[in-house]
Amino acid sequence: TAAIQGAPAPGFSSGQAIEAMERLAATVLPYGYGYEWTGVAFQEKKAGGQAPVIFGLALVFVFLFLAAQYESWTLPLVIMFAVPLAILGALVAQHWRGLINDVYCQIGLVMLIGLASKNAILIVEFAKEKREQGMSIVEAALEASRLRLRPILMTAFAFILGVVPLVVAKGAGAASRHALGTAVFGGMIASTFLSLLLVPVLFVVIERIREGRLKSKKVEGDSDRTKDSVD
């Protein structure tokens, strides 16, 4: 056996380096020779397929908690649509700084699932209350956006400014702080401003669909009862 140690070239991730070594070994090693990963590379290969599972479970749990809170399967969709906006902002910020989508960035993306949902919850919660008080769907969405604008901006900017030290970190461990801080910084900026525009619109669309289905079911039930009484 022969032990080989290496590191990725600047601008490439450790995952890309592992894939390059595997392709090289498949084409260069003679018949009967093989390889095994050890150390950090072994742990990375072992845990490499868990990221999609973690993201999927995070989304499922957030959706189920929201469904229980609102007692609805449709209103949580309004909130969940804010998550892609945050992830888009995070990946754009990472690309702009020339950073890779490493494990620290992925931790930031999992955090953004909750942080982006929080802003949308503030709007949807008040819009639902205003709708139950008798406002139209559009009026409820506009009133909720107006009432919750300041709290959303205050909490969002407090968190955004709180991760600035990670974005501009220097010294030992700065690379990991850059990845985590940049992902959360860019994701929160995109989620805050885009959610204020899109979440009220999504609430109007999905709430109209939901109430339309409820009305149609009620009409069908009334017609069935009328038919039974006539019979």
Q: What percent of the chain has pLDDT over 70?
A: 92
What's the pLDDT score for residue 58?
83
Contact 188, 167 (CB under 8 A): no
- 151: nearest Cα among 120, 105, 128: 120
Global pTM reads 0.69
Burial (Cβ within 10 Å: 0-12, 13-18, ≥19) of residue 138: middle
30 vs 122: CA distance, rounded Å? 62
- The one-letter amino acid code at 86 reads A
Helices (H), the chain: 14-28, 39-47, 51-70, 75-80, 82-96, 103-132, 137-147, 149-162, 164-167, 174-230
When mean pLDDT is compared across 19-28, 42-51, 71-80, 95-104, the lowest value belongs to 42-51
